[in-house]
Copies of this chain bind each other. A is one copy, B any other.
Amino acid sequence: MTNRQVRVTELPKGTLKQDNFELTEADMPAVQDGQVLVKTTLISIDAAMRAWMQGATYRAPVKPGDAMPCYAISEVVDGNGTKFQSGDLVAGESVWADYAALPARGLMKLPKVEPLSHLMSVYGIAGKTAFHGLVNVGRVIAGETVLVSAAAGSVGGFVGQIAKAFGCRVVGIAGGPEKCAWVTEELGFDACVDYRDPGMFKALRAACPDGVDVYFDNVGGQVLETALFVMNERGRVVCCGAVSQYDTDAATGPRNLPGLVVVKRLRMEGFIVMDFVREDAAALRALQTWVASGQIKVTEDIVEGLENAPAALIGLLAGENKGKRMVRVAADPS
């Protein structure tokens, strides 16, 4: 039996390209003490993966020759004497491969949910990131105006729908008129502004007549700079990502920082989803409630086949996805 892997050939300079990766065939991984053998079901595709290729972040940097690391849902093939049994469904850090040997202590057993992909979207990192960022960092209150960038993306779409459920005015920022229309019509945002429009600043002012109280920032860069101009005093900027800065070697800083932070008494705060693990149960209960009531629509963008993982990530960085993007490597276990 052989095992397909996608490895990083060399780290990208500038825009990520197909030839930064290669598909290889290797022997089945050797399973060491404390590890389990898993078969990959679904791989999460996230903008942050590009940041991992830029150096140390909240995890070790990716190195040339590595199988590309990822977050994945897998089925246990061999529990190897750990707490996991064969057939268990687990989630955790893995690699772009059909099979992987993973440390048991890094894995979490998953419940059986229909469809399984919801554990990767609304009940996974995307939904929990949206909830914790908006509620526990942004401390959103009914009646406030919430602005969110990458609004058609996995996290942004949930942020806006959660903010609507809270009773906020919700404005998105997305790339292109088609995505903007989808964000308002499909996801129910009050308005959505196209960041590629040269008149973006005016459009943003018009969409936010009472200013912005919480800006959920997934992109950084110029969009952040523009958003700071429409923030209200005592506004909060939830710093979740900086996707505009990842796939480039010419990052720029917002020129109105820290000036406007002082003048408007803003709070900018970064977080990652693991910071709020104690609040996960409450978040999941809230998300289930809103899915059941129809206040959250779950939109997923599933790419078929391990061999298409590089293109899936490259396309995500270029903004081609709507909703949570993932790669299906194998059918859901029965």
Report which A residues bind B (CB closer than 8 A). Answer: 51, 57-58, 217, 220, 224-225, 237, 239-242, 245, 251-272, 275
Contacts and interface: CB of A to CB of B under 8 A. Distances in A.
B257 A262 contact: no
A123 B58 CA distance: 42
A10 to B, nearest CB: 22
A265 B270 contact: yes
B51 A258 contact: no
A247 to B, nearest CB: 13
A159 to B, nearest CB: 15
Number of copies: 2
Given A262-B272, A268-B268, A255 B252 contact: yes
A220 B262 CA distance: 10
Contacts of A225: 253
Nearest to A237: B258
A251 B259 CA distance: 10
A263 B258 contact: no
Nearest to A224: B258
B58 A263 contact: yes
| Most B CB within 10 A of own CB, among A51, A270, A275 | A270
Contact of A267 (B220, B260, B264, B269): B269
A265 B268 CA distance: 10
Nearest to A48: B262
A267 B252 CA distance: 20
